[in-house]
Chain A
Amino acid sequence: MIEELRAKARELLESETVECVIGYEVGPTGRVRPVFVYEPDDVDRLVFNTRCDHNLVTYLNRRNKPRKRGEEVPTTGILVKPCDARSLQVLLNENQVQRDKVTVIGVACPGMQNADGTPEARCLRCNQRVPLLYDALFGEPPEVSDIADTYADVEEIEALPREDRLAYWLSELDRCIRCYACRQACPGCFCDVCESERDDSLWIGITDAIPEKAFFHITRAFHLAGRCGECNACEMVCPMGIPLSLLNRKIVKEVEQTMGGYHAGLSEEPTPLVTRLTGEEDIDEIH
């Protein structure tokens, strides 16, 4: 599979269909990391294995504008797993990325693993093995076996009494250091100036006070409502191990249940939270 993928990358670069191919490589210490391949002879650096858990789509937010005035928007080939493809679909729906500037190299995904070899919890929940969006597809889709309950961990928090839920989140968010790694890794966070980093402190200031940190995370989860592709990048990059995806998936669950099963990134319809609330349909009736 990898040989065919590399051949495709080579063909895209040699024909100048794309300026670069964004994929994964193995670094000198054995860690898998993103790689930007510009030269056809470098395609042998590309790999695909169970440690390729980064969502590369976030890099497209930097490549969607001309670098200099008068130049064209650069062309990119990008490797996507099913979860990454959902993020890409959201960006396409929101006109953040031009479809004709991106060549989507889809890979069938066996599920990702942690460094210790155990399967990643998010992959155990996932029922997609093949991306819904691709220009070329590589790899044999493996059998989808037992899928873990998508919302078991969300429901565990939901079941707590209100005071315990609050205490849980205040304790988890207390560790937040406002590094913003979660936001930077997220393809759906592409604002030039984040609401929590404004010079005029319009919404929050710069301290590590709990109300400010809680405001940032809850607001970010709401800004991703109906747009989060559940790639888990936010939680994976957090240096303090905060279970951020619980916040996002709580809202994913609400959207699914109130918007007729809608999940972000599965179709060209952008989030119904923006497109369907015209006053014609009552949300409670759907529910």
Chain B
Amino acid sequence: MRFISTQALRDWLDTLARQVTLIAPVETEIGEAPGLANPPASGMNTLYQPVSSADEIAWDFRRTVMSAREFLFPKTETLFTIETNPTGKKTLHETKMEGQQVIFGIRPCDARGLRVLDAIMLEQKPADVYYAQRRRNTTLVGLSCPEMWENCFCTSVGGAPNSSDDVDILLTQVENGYAVEIVTEKGEKLAQGIPLQEVEGLVLPEPRLNEPFETPTEQQWLNSFGDVYWERVGERCLSCRACVYVCPTCRCFDVRDETVVDSAGGRIMRRVRSWDSCQGVNYRTVAGGANPRANPDQRSRNRFFCKFYYVPTDYNVPFGCVGCGRCIAVCPVNIDISEVLRDLAQRGEA
């Protein structure tokens, strides 16, 4: 079993931060403002952010507020620009991603989230070239969770707090350092620079697990679609969209053009895409004003079905949800995906 001491890891990360864009969990001011009624629990106020040294990393973090998807699918991204010079000549320039990035400390659930996004963005043809570029240029160094925390349910959707399935390297904390599992070729390549020791008899701690539960079958989902249950779940929804923004697998986006006229009389147009959410009131409103999902219960039903029925049906993944629990933590009115799953799974087959 391979091992790296804490100090050697920190030294390596300091070096790595000078070679690539190093992204890691960082503590933030979320929860510090005195008026905040519901500050996040300990270790839950972090965000994945670029860092320039190991000192900036929140080593005791539990779960970040936002997932890691923004580094492969940014909140805002310029797709291309078209410059028109004063004579009218147009030049189109597609955005390219330069350089490599390493996401250090990504939790297995967030890495699973990227796997789900891969199925949608890459495997479903035609592929999204922007996501593809970033994916190629990204290496994931995962960090096992010592336990499952409040709202976590990864084990109920095919995941585990110490799963190495979707990362390139997996670290698990042990005494004085970390056990290192090299998972993929990309991980092997990155590991060239890491001073690893071979250690005999290293015992990895078993993470403390939450009680798993059954998720509904495909038939139970289908049977429930027209049920008034969804009205009861959705009527308290504020359509605040927070659940979507913190989710590791959501990928709906909006596209807009912006134009800037420069001083010489030329114009630059850029087409941007930004995160959007099916929970928004006007998400499906068409020109002319009709809105097929005008009620919040139709919208929240769409989200649950998307995660557990549409995505598994349309793409090559068993679940569209990774069980990270962020949406449960962030929902102001306690619309709880695990409660919905339990409720549906308990209904009869018929």
Contacts and interface: CB of A to CB of B under 8 A. Distances in A.
A122 interface: yes
A112 B33 CA distance: 17
Contacts of A142: none
Given A175-B30, A181-B241, A232-B35, A239 B258 contact: no
B262 interface: no
Interface stretch (B37-45, B124-132, B187-195): B37-45
Contacts of B238: 58, 181, 184-185, 237
A159 interface: no
Contact of A31 (B36, B258, B274, B334): B334
Contacts of A115: 38
B333 interface: yes
A36 interface: yes
Given A31-B334, A121-B35, A239 B236 contact: no
A28 B339 contact: yes
A115 B65 CA distance: 18
Interface in B16-67: 28-40, 45, 65-66
B35 A36 contact: no
B254 interface: yes
Interface string B214-237: 000000000000000000100110
Contacts of B244: 179
Nearest to A199: B287
B272 interface: yes
B89 interface: no
A127 interface: no
A197 B282 contact: yes
B246 interface: yes
Nearest to A156: B34
Interface string B326-350: 0000101110100100000000000
B164 to A, nearest CB: 29
B332 A236 contact: yes
Given A29-B339, A58-B238, A206 B35 contact: no
B297 to A, nearest CB: 11
A34 B240 contact: no
Contacts of A178: 274
A201 B272 CA distance: 12
A114 interface: yes
Contacts of A29: 334, 336, 339
Contacts of B333: 33-34, 54
Interface residues of A, number: 50
A237 B272 contact: no
Interface in A153-175: 153, 171-172, 175
B229 to A, nearest CB: 13
Contacts of B296: 62
Contact of B240 (A31, A59, A185, A246): A185
A29 B342 CA distance: 12
A209 B38 contact: no
A171 B33 CA distance: 13
Contacts of A19: none
Interface string A14-47: 0000000000000111011111100000000000
Interface residues on B, range: 35 or more
Given A33-B334, A205-B258, A180 B241 contact: yes
A122 B75 contact: no
Contact of A235 (B37, B272, B275): B37
Interface in B68-100: 75-76
A103 interface: no
B196 interface: no
A92 B314 CA distance: 48
B235 A237 contact: no
B35 A246 contact: yes
Interface in B251-293: 254, 256, 258, 272, 274-277, 280, 282
Contacts of A58: 238
A207 interface: yes
A239 B336 contact: no
A237 B240 contact: yes
A27 B332 CA distance: 13
Contacts of A241: 28-33, 36, 39-40, 45
Contact of B245 (A179, A236, A243): A179
Interface in A241-287: 241-243, 245-246
B65 A236 contact: no
B130 to A, nearest CB: 15
B35 A237 contact: no
Interface in B174-222: none
Q: Most B CB atoms within 10 A — which of A177, A240, A245?
A: A240
The 7 closest A-B pairs by CB, nearest first: A181-B240, A243-B33, A241-B30, A33-B334, A207-B76, A184-B240, A237-B332
14 contacts: A29-B336, A33-B333, A112-B37, A114-B38, A115-B38, A120-B35, A121-B34, A181-B240, A181-B241, A184-B241, A185-B332, A209-B76, A239-B246, A242-B33
Interface of A: 27-29, 31-36, 53-54, 58-59, 62, 112, 114-115, 120-122, 153, 171-172, 175, 177-181, 184-185, 193, 197, 201, 205-209, 232, 235-237, 239-243, 245-246
Given A177-B245, A184-B238, A235-B37, 19 more contacts: A114-B39, A121-B34, A121-B35, A121-B36, A181-B240, A181-B242, A181-B332, A184-B241, A207-B274, A208-B274, A232-B37, A236-B36, A237-B240, A241-B28, A241-B32, A241-B33, A241-B40, A243-B35, A246-B33
